[in-house]
Structure 1
Amino acid sequence: MKKLGLLVLAFVVTFFAHAQSPNNTDALLNEVSSKVKGYDNIVINFKYSLENTAENVKHETRGDVSLEGEKYLLNIMGTTRIFDGKKLYTIIPEDEEINISSHNPEEEQNITPSKMLTFYNDGYKSQIDKTVDLKGRKIQYVRLTPIDTNAEIKNILLGIDKQTKHIYNLIQTQSNGTKITITVTSFKTNQPIPESLFQFKEDRYKDYYINRLD
């Protein structure tokens, strides 16, 4: 679940990731970045699929994420993750368990948009890839390739709607042949989000085991 949360947030914040990309992706990615930075918040519904043909594995699910600055709320696979700017709360109803940890920018397991910004800037090369006509929508793909040739990820295709300059999907191919696809089904901005959305209310979970990791 931790890796899944990382991937989903990578998808949500990738638009910020290449503001200083050194090749011909500059214009497109800077335009996308400039546009989304003008939003007060972003609310996304998405489809998530994982497939490995060789291993006969296929899994599909849906989720949603709300993002406002550093704060976020992610719902996927029955689990909720809340980051209030200081602490990360992982709520697992199936186990009636909650994990709470403080944010430490030096620790990889604490995933925030700013951490993902650094991750993509430092770890990937980017180049313009194919353009796809999807029911009248022109989707321009950018290929991200890890600088580390031993990385678990082989490449990532980031699909951008050329008209709206919003992210349409992300296709991640791993070295073991696994393909993970995240597709936006709803993209809303500047929503009337209450501040309480990013606040953890412990009194709502009286029967849960709370694991304070620090």
Structure 2
Amino acid sequence: MLKKHILFIGLFTVALFSYGQNSDKAKALLDEVYNKVKSYDNIYIDFRSTLENTEANLKQETNGNVTLDGEKYFLNYLGAQQLFDGKKVYTIVPENEEVTIEDVNEEDDNVSPSKMLTFYKTGHNYQWDILQNVDGRKIQYVKLIPIDSNTEIKSILLGVDTQTKHIYKLIQTGNNGTKTTITVNSFKTNQPLSSTLFTFDEKKFEDKGYYITRN
């Protein structure tokens, strides 16, 4: 759950005669977002996450935050923490006094925090979607459809603030009917970071009696 994000169904249908043009326009907007993100030393995002499956009568809401510095990230979500130091992913669950250490799975269909703003660049077709007014902000949605038909993801919607070129909402619809939405509450850049934020201190957790597993 900690690396898995996103939700909703696009309501705007792109006319066949203008699909190519709108696809290029959608890709161009996402490229603007990417270039803006790459200009920052680091990013801090406070967000709200909603997981919903109507058939299973499931709806779960929670808040979280993530700090991103290049590919590295530190995530607080669902009562746990997840750290990626550029090589391995460390998932820390204080309630269970447990740490799991994993190698990165590049084949993972889901969007990890470090890829949250750049994953669109490969493996998707693009559609220009609806424009919404949210508290005076214009949010333009772009719909991404995975090219790989075997993926677990049906579609992804990215809502972009047209003024700041920051992502406001990330929405994923799964083939199993599960929908996950991440809404950005605050977006801060170039924050002072601790030099050890992305460093996992295994001895510290061993001394606390945590059970450490490696996958």
TM-score for the superposition, normalised by structure 2: 0.82
Structure 1 residue 92 displacement after superposition: 1.2
Measured at CA, do residues 169 and 33 of structure 1 come closer, stay the same or move farther in structure 2, by a change above 3 Å? same
For residue 59 of structure 1, give the secondary structure of its aligned residue in structure 2.
strand
Matched residues in 1 for 2:175 and 2:211: separation?
37
In the alignment, structure 1 segments of 5+ residues that lack a partner are: 9-21
Identical pairs, percent:
55
Measured at CA, do residues 112 and 168 of structure 1 come closer, stay the same or move farther in structure 2, by a change above 3 Å? closer
- Does the 8 Å CA contact 2:109/2:153 hold for their aligned counterparts? no
Number of residue-to-residue matches in the alignment: 197
For residue 210 of structure 1, give the secondary structure of its aligned residue in structure 2.
strand
Structure 2 counterpart of 1:204: 204
Deviations 1:73-113 (A, max 9, x none): 011111111111222211111211111234475x6499573
Matched residues in 1 for 2:164 and 2:115: separation?
24
Structure 1 residue 163 displacement after superposition: 0.8
- Does the 8 Å CA contact 2:52/2:58 hold for their aligned counterparts? yes
Greater share of residues in helix:
1
Structure 2 counterpart of 1:17: none
Structure 1 counterpart of 2:127: 127
Q: Are residue 156 (structure 1) and residue 160 (structure 2) matched?
A: no
Structure 1 residue 179 displacement after superposition: 1.5
Matched residues in 1 for 2:33 and 2:74: separation?
22
For residue 7 of structure 1, give the secondary structure of its aligned residue in structure 2.
coil
Partner amino acid, structure 1, of 2:214 = R
- Does the 8 Å CA contact 2:46/2:186 hold for their aligned counterparts? yes
- Does the 8 Å CA contact 2:27/2:126 hold for their aligned counterparts? no
In the alignment, structure 2 segments of 5+ residues that lack a partner are: 7-22
Measured at CA, do residues 156 and 101 of structure 1 come closer, stay the same or move farther in structure 2, by a change above 3 Å? closer
Matched residues in 2 for 1:29 and 1:82: separation?
26
Q: Are residue 26 (structure 1) and residue 27 (structure 2) matched?
A: yes
Higher relative contact order (CA 8 A, sep 6+): 2
Structure 2 counterpart of 1:80: 81
Matched residues in 1 for 2:91 and 2:80: separation?
7
Structure 2 counterpart of 1:190: 190
For residue 94 of structure 1, give the secondary structure of its aligned residue in structure 2.
coil
- Does the 8 Å CA contact 2:34/2:117 hold for their aligned counterparts? no
Partner amino acid, structure 2, of 1:172 = Q
Structure 2 counterpart of 1:18: none
Comparing 170-179 with 185-194, which one deviates more in the overlay?
A: 170-179
Measured at CA, do residues 115 and 173 of structure 1 come closer, stay the same or move farther in structure 2, by a change above 3 Å? closer
Structure 1 residue 123 displacement after superposition: 2.2
